Amino acid sequence: MTDFKRKRVVVTGVGAITPIGNTPTEYWEGLISGRNGIGEITRFDASNHACRIAGEVKQFEPHDYMDRKEAKRMDRFSQFGVSAAKQALADAQLVIDDLNAEQVGVMIGSGVGGIKVMEDQQTVYLNRGPDRCSPFMIPMMIANMAAGLTAIHTGAKGPNSCAVTACAAGSNAIGDAFRIIQGGYAQAMISGGCEAAITPLSVAGFAAARALSFRNDDPIHACRPFDKDRDGFVMGEGSGILILEELDYALSRGARIYGEMVGYAMTCDAYHITSPVPGGLGASRAMGLALKDGGISPEQVSYINAHGTSTPANDSTETAAIKKVLGEQAYKVAVSSTKSMTGHLLGGSGGIEAVATVLAIANDHIPPTINLVNPDPECDLDYVAKTSRAQTVDVAMSNSFGFGGHNVTLVFKKYI
């Protein structure tokens, strides 16, 4: 696809269901105030687990967005995705009808999908036999169902798919939606990620892999990206959704524009199933290619919403990758990890972090990295420690890296 054929793509709506707020406004206010959404697990009895903390969504009512019968036939991850999508459509004031339905698509990623339903139905199978399993088990469990249900609930009949690339899934979905609009295959896309993997089996599995923080006695300080005392990530849940539109279409209906999406790239480390390649070579290639895709120079970058998981390997590797691609400019760019407040939403993280990145541009304000008290000597960039910062944000990047070596970078800028 040559540059002169590409459509311009803008962000016109956002939706967010997160551990620090269940609307975009609450989420943004939580980010800027440094609100911490991490605490003891209440979704199940975690008393016998090595990790007993997570970033849970609080006071979420799916019935605010759908009737009880519909909600009952959805796993929690789909409830989050559909609800955030409806928020984003309302925010964009985009009405889907017979005239535009075939030009509006959905791309919503999930790294895990309906694991709660799978666990529950496994118990039913073992205790009551195969004939007692729910006929809704499979459609509730499969990861693409958030995208499918969003289309069913909104009437969007355009391109529809689901990225399943672990913790890069939400960003991949947004990037793929961006490409669809650029290529002229849709006028608007509902895009992002969702996850609800705070379940007994999932938490046990990540703990067994030594990926999680075990700071059970101090949950609000457990997620501490770039801090030398970090000991693993804290699982979160929720959904983040962007409405992406072709510029002329957005202008034709008088849409408010938060910013413009200009770059997307994905690479693979081809190295290890969980660990990033030393030196962050794959991550730096993703960042470099995304900047090139958007025609952005390192000197133009104002802010990076880092993957910043609070794991020993990720934070130092991402720091090295940023230095590699930006050079000396790396020390002049604000970098922060909003996971310090929300925890790590796995496949949903790219969605809520893209929302944070776009809102940083729209509001000229950068969310902080909370809990950064003792910086790791290998992590020596400007991580906007502890408190948010009012600052002009012209160009911002959002990074997402997933198990399997998946690296994704999205680039946004002010709409001019």
The residue extents of the domains of the chain are 9-252, 264-413
| Rounded Cα–Cα distance for residues 183 and 7 (Å) | 7
- Active-site residue, selected from the candidate residues 162, 167, 194, 223: 167
For position 391, what pLDDT does the model report?
98
In total, the chain counts a number of residues equal to 416
Per-10-residue mean pLDDT of the chain, 416 residues long, equals: 77 98 98 98 98 98 96 97 98 98 98 98 97 97 98 98 98 98 98 98 98 98 98 98 98 98 98 95 98 98 98 97 98 98 98 98 98 97 98 98 98 97
Question: 52 near 204, Cβ under 8 Å?
Answer: no
Provide the pLDDT for residue 1. 45
Establish whether 379 is a catalytic residue. Answer: no
Global pTM value: 0.97
- pLDDT confidence of residue 5: 83
Active site residue 307: yes
Q: pLDDT digit string (tens) for 270-316?
A: 999 999 999 999 999 999 999 999 999 999 999 999 999 999 999 99
Query: In the annotation, is 344 catalytic?
Result: yes
Tell me, which fold does domain 9-252 have in CATH?
Peroxisomal Thiolase; Chain A, domain 1 (3.40.47)
Give the helix ranges, DSSP H, for 327-398: 339-342, 349-363
Q: Is 244 helix (H, G, I), strand (E, B) or coil?
A: strand
CATH annotation of 264-413? 3.40.47.10
Considering 153, 307, 365, 406, which one is annotated as catalytic? Answer: 307
Straight-line distance from the first to the last Cα atom of the chain, in angstroms, rounded to the nearest whole number: 23
H/E run at residue 335: strand 334-336
Say how far apart CA 198 and CA 299 lie, in whole Å.
40
Q: Report yes or no: 92 and 115 within 8 Å, Cβ to Cβ.
A: no
How many whole angstroms separate alpha carbon 329 and alpha carbon 409?
A: 18
Using alpha carbons, select from 284, 177, 213, 291 the residue that is nearest to residue 38.
Answer: 213
Given a contact cutoff of 8 angstroms between Cβ atoms, the answer to whether 53 and 234 are in contact is: yes
Q: Which of 344, 365, 379, 406 is catalytic?
A: 344
In the chain, count H helices and then E strands: 13, 14
